[in-house]
Chains A and B, each alone.
Chain A
Amino acid sequence: AQSVTQLGSHVSVSEGALVLLRCNYSSSVPPYLFWYVQYPNQGLQLLLKYTSAATLVKGINGFEAEFKKSETSFHLTKPSAHMRDAAEYFCAVTTPSGGYNKLIFGAGTRLAVHP
């Protein structure tokens, strides 16, 4: 079975500061990993995905994540936070055995950006 752990339910940064949102996964087979963002009263928007190609994945809005198999991690980073980045972020995992579109989500991290 797969699972995802997001460390820190709330993260607060200053505008212009580095954003680091942590995600660790558990999977008995090579995983596919995703980061989604959710704005208030909205659905989820895909930021980036890892599907066994390059381990450093670049996504939209300046975000990127690095797949580290030895650490079972897929942390999300952005060099410089903007006010518009304030939202909730979800890490998710799936695998061929888990099902093609059966995403297992972490509990989410709410990012606050202050001036």
Chain B
Amino acid sequence: KAGVTQTPRYLIKTRGQQVTLSCSPISGHRSVSWYQQTPGQGLQFLFEYFSETQRNKGNFPGRFSGRQFSNSRSEMNVSTLELGDSALYLCASSAGTLNTEAFFGQGTRLTVV
């Protein structure tokens, strides 16, 4: 079956702009989690959505938001971009129970200039 699809793969934005990233999970998966990966901070959990509801949230400012649609596809939005938001954003999907594997997409590389 198809894996986790993230679009776009690469993105360049200017400071102050906003950006929307998309994640299509594996068919049948109801949980989508988002992570930010940077050289300085490593992999950090942003938030998790399950059945269209945010179930967990990491320690990121309110500029970072997300949502999940009825087909389990998820989007994350970053408003008022800062240079420090430059990162690889990874999405992971799973069935949504604890003992299930999280499958990661290839990520979206966001560069803020």
Residues in B with CB closer than 8 Å to A51 are 98-99
Given known A46-B101, A102-B56, contact A108–B31 (CB-CB < 8 A) = no
Given known A100-B31, A101-B33, contact A43–B97 (CB-CB < 8 A) = no
> How many chain-B residues does the 8 Å CB contact rule pick out?
27
- How far, in Å, is B29 (CB) from chain A's closest CB? 10
> How many chain-A residues does the 8 Å CB contact rule pick out?
24
In the complex, what residue of chain A is closest to B9 when comparing beta carbons? A41
- How far, in Å, is B110 (CB) from chain A's closest CB? 14
In the complex, what residue of chain A is closest to B107 when comparing beta carbons? A43
Q: Does the CB pair A96–B98 fall under 8 Å?
A: yes
Q: Does the CB pair A99–B107 fall under 8 Å?
A: no
- How far, in Å, is A91 (CB) from chain B's closest CB? 11
Q: Does the CB pair B96–A44 fall under 8 Å?
A: no
Residues in chain B within 8 A of chain A (CB atoms): 4, 31, 33, 35, 42-45, 48, 50, 55-56, 58, 90, 92, 94, 96-99, 101-107
